[in-house]
């Protein structure tokens, strides 16, 4: 068969290509995954060396020869495996090409993952900064620094990494301890013990604050519809949230509740159907536009409670990103989505934990920006939303299928119960 | 056109057929619904008299002439309208035919709804007893009594009501007061204020008990999976539940938790994935089969906690109905579904309020048996399940889309908080 | 009780307020709805005159007195009823106020619905142009013209309608004929005969084209994932779609399939898991950015098939609106959402039928812009998405819960089957 | 620490316990899974020998020492691993105990999986017959035969296998070829190319028939609601389905369509809302009860089309299993669920392929009875149902999230298109 013959030619041509993997490659499923990828991509493998750790704490090692029909095919396979944590046995320095079109990458650019990445410059491995998936890597060889750069920020002549040579990825290993979080990562289901999930989230938030990192809340308007705004306001007021990503809808509904909640008799408290609510919504936006923005509305005593009020009062860094379905919008909404992405990019730098509540759009956008080592918990009553988000990062995102209001009520009670002594500090 | 000509013949033939409707026929949407049905079924109408109540509390009245192509078509339309609460202007006595086949109705039998129904015997309207949908009506003319009878219970020669003449239905009117329940009936959504729903359920349970009626819990196994069994056990222990409908799965998981919960280290408390749980499940069933049943297991001190334990201890009337997907099953499970239906039928007689949690199968089965005046609340995290159940009875069933565990935790806290003085009492 | 006393004062003060409604007010449910709203908003009513049409084709009429505690409350109720099609018995001219803040409405602005609306200028009712919900109305009294204006387009000094006086709404009546569409509007379910729905959509598209109106497709990326891009391309090629609203994802996946579909062996045709697909996605975007846009890529023979290719070739007007979760994006994406809304606004003017496939975001955005008389069909496999969209406009939007690929395959077969003689014409 | 000390005692006691695994243990993920289970169950491991196959086709081998705190814990771990395909290095004969309670297993019974299982009798491994999960194993040592036995069928004194010694499980290996089915097993999503799934199912059905095995259809009533009954009828008529598992609802709706479809003007063909349909449903059941059953109704020419009609005509073996939500039911329904399970058990013996459409209850019941080597495809528009079913057996069940009607229409077109020459033969 022709392909067999080609294959044996390739065998000679490609015989020098060898990769190695180290670590808990068996029980982290890394080795099987790598072998699977090779075959999927049309290659064949030969395990040339394999040392399995005798005890669980012992690392394992494998050296694997890879063959395919053409050198290009071998290169493509290796490029793929590098992203899973394998390294070529004989590493080279990273290669760059100056950007030949502004706001676009050169041909054959290296496309980033959200995993810790290093590039090899003059024989030395240096960390890639600002790790973010779906970017390129810009190299400042003089300064010995490399960083992730989004496509739209590429400037003419900027040296951009191409190919996979000289790039290595250090994937997060699945945590080995049995932690409260362990069980949840296994799969998404509404039929899980719920008290345990809550405790896990509360503990993570406490640990993040103790660690000096920021907690990010990414929230959708259902937070307000379900009557959960006071719980979130309380979490903000007591210092448990430093950053908020949301859209026009959450902010507007929250402000509408503050402005009209009681006076029109259509209250979250009574739960009556708000048939005319859409108009209040528009009037709330108009009122804030007339005042010049949310901060002005708080400063002038017009908005006196709610999530956005607490954000202003506590100095929470908030980004309200625009969407084509927005009414109004509020003057604080960033209507250009590339500008909004840059604002969010800047705000996630110190985030240690992200809690995504009842929003697919903003949660996915946030997930696109976060490096793989930031833990993300997504809470939604719809299992499809949770699955979609949790599927993106293997160990990073934990999904909890539950009702938003009782979850946030219990979380606020758990974190704010003990008062000052359990507070997150000044 | 031929059908027009037929129609004008029919007009003469059917000209004597007239119905009347009374009550809040405009704002309960009854009048529009009736006019709509006439047209849908191929008839035409003429509103011969219409008095709209001037104030909200004033009843309205309409007298409507109905025409169709054939007398049979007119009869069919009137049969339909009777079920919506209309009455023929000139009523006749009910007609019966002796059952000619056992366990089947005679041709043209009257098929019941779950609404209050009366039949006219010797010029007098008498109530139909044991109201249940999808039954026939058996008449005991000598005793002047009528009752709903399921198809399988029909005996040869039993007088069964046929046709719609002499039958009238008195539909439940939508309650006019603005109640806590009002808002919830409007539609099914997870984006509703949740604290209000909970309060509404708690108030209904209290009112049912104060009224001397029984509270029925219809529950699925997710009650146990989500860690809610202790909340239900507490509600039973403190006297808030008198009847339980469930299947083999709920009872088995509950008993499994009682038997193996701690000893094997796979606990609801820790929330760890129970990969081998299916075997424990089977061992739990086997253990109870060896002892002869749940009561025996409680009496011998083998089962010492949980939902089924409290049922035995508090004398709660429970029906465990079999299903083809059952493992085992437990010896208490009624494996013939017709026998199970009869057991459930007998148990719902004094029920004043039904709470259906996380089970479509048992909830629908229960809904089939309950008359329209028993309030039903269905709680499920899946909106599709809630919609399916709520669609069946217009005002009877209220759906709450929420997570089972926090709902039951809060309900137990609300109802059992004050201890003895707020208890349901003897 | 204090409120009772206030109420009797109000009764005197408000006794002159009277509204009237005409048309099929009983069987279109309009009368019951109006009475319901009055009570919900805290008012009371008295039906002063009521003539119910004797035959179905006869219109009905009701004159209703409305009372509430304060004149403001009465005004608010009447403002609400006007949107449902009621008119004050004694109409006044519309009132305007010059805009006092740019890009915001004056206090008490009239907030539009998507229904046909008229304003009364010097005793004459004139149509409001560019009907769109959640806008204000700008009046050019000199020219005798009025039009809907979005908040952000308000200029200082522009005369804006305030209050509800002099405004009337002419709601779409539910169609009386039994049409293929009739059954579908009743409710959203996956358990409906599907062949009928398809026929209804095909007929609507044919009728729209025969009528000289445009057909709008609003589509999400699942169109490509499910292998439906060729069906859509065929519909475009044969002239059945004039306008396309989508996002970066649909266009990118479509182009990616055109560019890489076959060469990398990861094809929709084979259905194999595309683990590395995300990178192809980014490379496709980069390739188009390097060429300067989709049209350039088609002109240069780089993109040679697919949805976007056909759009360029057939001169379909497409708007790709940006979102914060976009990768890249393609240079054709409008990244400022307010600009994108304006582009969409301009494009919907001649649309007679909108088909929304597998996208909640773009469908809701489109629904916000369309007047109530444009029929919208939403197709999604997720009932929650369909319900969300169908809930917004009562009769306007029809939801079909089905799988996108077989639906589009059958639709393309139905519309393009007969070739030239059934084609939509030049 | 106390547990460490215990652990070192255990180390001595347990040092003899060693297991081995063979086959494609790395890329079938078996080895990592086994190591994971040991740790999860509180044990530690030592890999004493590990030979990884050099090429993909080479089998691998591992010998692993297992330690835990107590001999019981070691035994429990080994019992678990046996089910995953590991074998103790030093095998013993199987042990049995006579059943001491009828219709229950003895203490410590071996609980079966649905994988191929063997027991060791007098040093020889014999196959366990009638493989079914959640059963015990009854041994006939004299005849040298063993078979799975459900709990309720155990007779006093029957020798039942206890413990895990002398039992070995031979798990199905994930198929290595890239097949049309390959991609689908990866995960459940509605966003997959659909044409490929359909082809895969059609090919499997053809292969099953070519192989002389039976095709089983497990169906819910949505088959009829969606207008798919004619497609299924056609598949039966042309010999593609040999066995049908369903409930009262599917059969009744199918017969109702045959009996009343046209005469009452409420037809699947027109798709109009069948408000009064529930009564027709009951009348259909009653009609069949009066005739004595479905076969009688077909023989007497009363039922002349539909799924049940074709089943009778083609001699398809059908089991209609009862449920507590049944109306009627039809006289053919098996109302005792244990009897229904036995009927289904008998019918699945020669089944080579099972297609489950739109029913969770019957599909799960069927899944409980089938051995792991029978391929199962579940089709439902609800991803939650598909996920639930697909989760149960790792490689056995493939889920397709799609709309039932277009799926069955296309499947019928695919299988029955070519007429006699592509037919499944006599």
pLDDT > 90? residue A46: no
User: For residue B282, which of D149, C56, D373, D158 has the smallest C-alpha distance?
Assistant: D149
DSSP E strands in B158-312: the ranges are 159-162, 167-170, 214-219, 243-247
Residue of C26, C44, C192 to mutate when probing chain B, most B C-beta within 10 A: C26
Nearby residues of C120 by Cβ (< 8 Å), 6 or more positions away: C91, C92, C93, C94, C126, C166, C167, C168
Q: Is C342 on the interface with A (CB under 8 A)?
A: no
**pLDDT class of C56 with cuts at 50, 70, 90:** low
CA atoms within 13 A on the CB side of D63: 7
Compute the average pLDDT of residues B204-210.
95
pLDDT of residue D393: 52
**A126 min Cα distance to partner chain B (Å):** 39
pLDDT > 90? residue D57: no
Q: Is A203 exposed, middle or buried (0-12, 13-18, 19+ CB in 10 A)?
A: middle
pLDDT (tens digit, 9 = 90+) per residue, B73-113?
888 888 888 888 888 888 889 999 999 999 999 999 999 98
Looking at the DSSP bridge assignments, the partners of residue B117 are B169
Mode of pairing for the β-strands spanning D44-51 and A145-149: unpaired
pLDDT > 90? residue D42: no
User: Which A residues 56-115 touch C at CB under 8 Å?
Assistant: 80, 101, 103-105, 109, 111
pLDDT > 70? residue D400: yes
Other residues' Cβ atoms within 10 Å of the Cβ of residue C350: 12
pLDDT > 70? residue D72: yes
Residue of C114, C284, C325, C332 to mutate when probing chain A, most A C-beta within 10 A: C325
Contact yes or no for C192 and D225 at CB 8 A: yes
pLDDT > 60? residue B221: yes
pLDDT (tens digit, 9 = 90+) per residue, D342-382?
999 999 999 999 999 999 999 999 999 999 899 999 999 88
pLDDT (tens digit, 9 = 90+) per residue, A221-271?
999 988 899 999 999 999 999 999 999 999 999 999 998 873 333 345 554
CA atoms within 13 A on the CB side of C185: 17
Contact yes or no for A39 and D31 at CB 8 A: no
- Token output for C241: 């779609």
pLDDT of residue B45: 81
pLDDT (tens digit, 9 = 90+) per residue, B241-269?
999 999 999 999 999 999 887 333 334 55
Q: Is C177 on the interface with D (CB under 8 A)?
A: no
Contact yes or no for B183 and A272 at CB 8 A: yes
Compute the average pLDDT of residues A76-84.
84
pLDDT of residue D398: 85
Between B324 and B1, where is the model more confident? B324
Distance CA C133, CA C313 (A): 34
Contact yes or no for A337 and C326 at CB 8 A: yes
DSSP E strands in D269-335: the ranges are 317-321
Contact yes or no for B54 and C47 at CB 8 A: yes
The b-or-e profile of B123-157 (16+ CB within 10 A means b, else e) is eeebebebbbbbbbbbbeeeeeebbbbbbbbbeee
pLDDT (tens digit, 9 = 90+) per residue, B228-248?
999 999 999 999 999 999 999
Total CB pairs under 8 A between chain B and C: 51
Looking at the DSSP bridge assignments, the partners of residue C160 are C97, C138
Compute the average pLDDT of residues D296-317.
97
pLDDT of residue B75: 83
Residue of C31, C33, C36, C47 to mutate when probing chain B, most B C-beta within 10 A: C47
Q: Could you give the angle at the alpha carbon of B255 between the alpha carbons of B249 and B257, nearest 5°?
A: 100
- DSSP letter, residue A336: B
- DSSP letter, residue C200: H
The alpha carbon dihedral of C171, C174, C179, C183 has a sign of positive
pLDDT (tens digit, 9 = 90+) per residue, A97-146?
999 999 999 999 999 989 899 999 999 999 999 999 999 999 998 999 99
pLDDT > 50? residue D180: no
Distance CA C241, CA C355 (A): 10
Compute the average pLDDT of residues A1-12.
37
By percentage, how much of chain B surpasses pLDDT 70?
A: 81
Q: Closest to B226 (Cβ–Cβ): which among A184, A191, A273? A: A191
**A18 min Cα distance to partner chain C (Å):** 21
User: For residue C44, which of C21, C15, C72 has the smallest C-alpha distance?
Assistant: C15
pLDDT (tens digit, 9 = 90+) per residue, C208-266?
999 999 999 999 999 998 889 999 999 999 999 999 999 999 999 999 999 987 333 33
Nearby residues of A419 by Cβ (< 8 Å), 6 or more positions away: none
pLDDT (tens digit, 9 = 90+) per residue, A349-407?
999 999 999 999 999 999 999 998 999 999 998 887 887 776 655 457 888 888 999 99
Contact yes or no for A151 and C289 at CB 8 A: yes
Between C396 and D133, where is the model more confident? D133
Helix, strand, coil share (%) of chain B residues, nearest 5:
40, 20, 40
Between B184 and D415, where is the model more confident? D415
Total CB pairs under 8 A between chain A and C: 111
**pLDDT class of A275 with cuts at 50, 70, 90:** very low
Compute the average pLDDT of residues D380-392.
77
- Which residue in C has a C-alpha nearest to residue A325's C-alpha? C365
Mode of pairing for the β-strands spanning D124-129 and D136-140: unpaired
Per the CB < 8 A criterion, the answer to whether C51 and C60 are in contact is: yes
**pLDDT class of A417 with cuts at 50, 70, 90:** low
pLDDT > 60? residue C322: yes
Q: Closest to A190 (Cβ–Cβ): which among B184, B195, B403? A: B403
By percentage, how much of chain C surpasses pLDDT 70?
A: 81
Q: Is D263 on the interface with A (CB under 8 A)?
A: no
Residues of B in contact with A382 (CB under 8 A): 190
User: For residue D324, which of B327, B321, B251 has the smallest C-alpha distance?
Assistant: B321
Contact yes or no for D271 and C192 at CB 8 A: yes
pLDDT > 90? residue C341: yes
**pLDDT class of A162 with cuts at 50, 70, 90:** very high
Q: Closest to A31 (Cβ–Cβ): which among D26, D36, D383? A: D26
Least confidently predicted of A16-30, C28-42, C152-166, D9-23? D9-23
Contact yes or no for A35 and D55 at CB 8 A: no
pLDDT of residue D277: 55
- Token output for D295: 């076969």
**D387 min Cα distance to partner chain C (Å):** 15
Residue where the block lists tokens 């079909």: C400
Helix, strand, coil share (%) of chain D residues, nearest 5:
40, 20, 40
Per the CB < 8 A criterion, the answer to whether A100 and A120 are in contact is: no
Helix axes D383-392, D360-369, angle to 10 degrees: 10
Q: Is A342 on the interface with C (CB under 8 A)?
A: no
Q: Closest to B183 (Cβ–Cβ): which among A180, A227, A273? A: A273
CA dihedral A314, A318, A324, A329 (to 10 degrees): 40
Nearby residues of A378 by Cβ (< 8 Å), 6 or more positions away: A356, A357, A363, A385, A386, A389, A390, A397, A398, A399, A400
pLDDT of residue B334: 98
Mode of pairing for the β-strands spanning B124-129 and B116-121: antiparallel
Compute the average pLDDT of residues D253-270.
65
pLDDT of residue D179: 40
Contact yes or no for A104 and C290 at CB 8 A: yes
Q: Is C36 on the interface with B (CB under 8 A)?
A: yes
pLDDT of residue A52: 73
Compute the average pLDDT of residues C297-308.
97
What ipTM is given for this predicted complex?
A: 0.86
pLDDT of residue C7: 38
- DSSP letter, residue C109: B
Residue of A324, A335, A384 to mutate when probing chain C, most C C-beta within 10 A: A324
pLDDT of residue D151: 96
Domains and CATH numbers, chain C: 1-90 (3.30.70.2690), 91-171 (2.40.420.10), 180-419 (3.40.50.10690)
Least confidently predicted of A274-278, B209-213, B316-320, C246-250? A274-278
Per the CB < 8 A criterion, the answer to whether D291 and D301 are in contact is: no
Per the CB < 8 A criterion, the answer to whether C243 and C316 are in contact is: yes
B30-44, C139-153, C247-261, range with greatest mean pLDDT: C139-153
**C215 min Cα distance to partner chain D (Å):** 24
Residue where the block lists tokens 């009137």: B78
pLDDT > 50? residue C274: no
Contact yes or no for D271 and C183 at CB 8 A: yes
pLDDT > 60? residue D340: yes
**D203 min Cα distance to partner chain C (Å):** 14
Question: What pTM was computed for the model?
Answer: 0.83
Compute the average pLDDT of residues C334-342.
97
Q: Is D401 on the interface with C (CB under 8 A)?
A: yes
pLDDT > 50? residue C4: no
- Token output for C348: 């919907």
pLDDT > 60? residue D3: no
Chains with ≥3 CB–CB distances under 8 Å to B: A, C, D
pLDDT > 60? residue C422: no
Compute the average pLDDT of residues A318-340.
97
- Which residue in A has a C-alpha nearest to residue D53's C-alpha? A47
């Amino acid at each position: 068969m022709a392909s067999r013959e080609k294959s044996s030619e390739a065998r000679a041509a490609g015989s020098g290509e060898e990769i190695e993997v180290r670590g808990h490659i068996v029980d982290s499923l890394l080795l099987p995954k790598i072998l699977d990828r090779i075959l999927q991509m049309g290659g064949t493998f030969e395990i040339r060396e394999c040392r399995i750790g005798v005890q669980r704490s012992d690392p394992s090692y494998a050296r694997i020869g890879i063959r395919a029909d053409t050198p290009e095919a071998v290169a493509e396979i290796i490029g793929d495996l590098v992203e899973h944590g394998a390294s070529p046995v004989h590493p080279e320095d990273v290669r760059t090409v100056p950007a030949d079109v502004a706001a676009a990458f050169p041909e054959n650019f290296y496309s980033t993952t959200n995993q810790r990445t290093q590039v090899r410059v003059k024989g030395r491995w240096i960390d890639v900064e600002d790790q973010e998936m779906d970017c390129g890597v810009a190299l400042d060889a003089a300064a010995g620094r490399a960083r992730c750069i989004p496509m739209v920020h590429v400037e003419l002549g900027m040296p951009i990494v191409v190919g996979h040579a000289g790039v290595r990825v250090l994937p997060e290993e699945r945590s080995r301890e049995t932690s409260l979080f362990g069980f949840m990562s296994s799969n998404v289901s509404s039929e899980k013990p719920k008290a345990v999930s809550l405790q896990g989230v509360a503990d993570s938030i406490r640990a993040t604050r103790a660690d000096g990192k920021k907690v990010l809340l990414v929230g959708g308007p259902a937070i307000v519809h379900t009557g959960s705004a006071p719980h979130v306001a309380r979490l903000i007021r007591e210092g448990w949230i430093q950053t908020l990503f949301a859209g026009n809808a959450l902010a507007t509904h929250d402000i509408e509740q503050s402005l009209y909640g009681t006076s029109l008799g259509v209250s979250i408290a009574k739960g009556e159907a708000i048939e005319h609510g859409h108009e209040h919504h528009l009037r709330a936006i108009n009122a804030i536009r007339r005042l010049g923005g949310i901060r002005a509305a708080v400063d002038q005593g017009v908005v006196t409670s709610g999530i956005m009020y607490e954000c202003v009062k506590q100095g929470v860094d908030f980004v309200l990103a625009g969407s084509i379905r927005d009414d109004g919008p509020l003057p604080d909404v960033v209507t250009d989505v590339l500008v909004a992405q840059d604002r969010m990019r800047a705000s996630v730098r110190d985030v240690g934990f992200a809690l995504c509540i009842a929003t697919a759009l903003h949660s996915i956008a946030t997930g696109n920006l976060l490096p793989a080592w930031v833990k993300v918990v997504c809470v939604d009553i719809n299992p499809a939303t949770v699955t979609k988000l949790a599927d993106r990062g293997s160990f990073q995102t934990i999904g909890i299928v539950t009702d938003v209001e009782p979850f946030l009520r219990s979380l606020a009670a758990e974190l704010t119960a003990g008062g000052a002594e359990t507070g997150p500090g000044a």
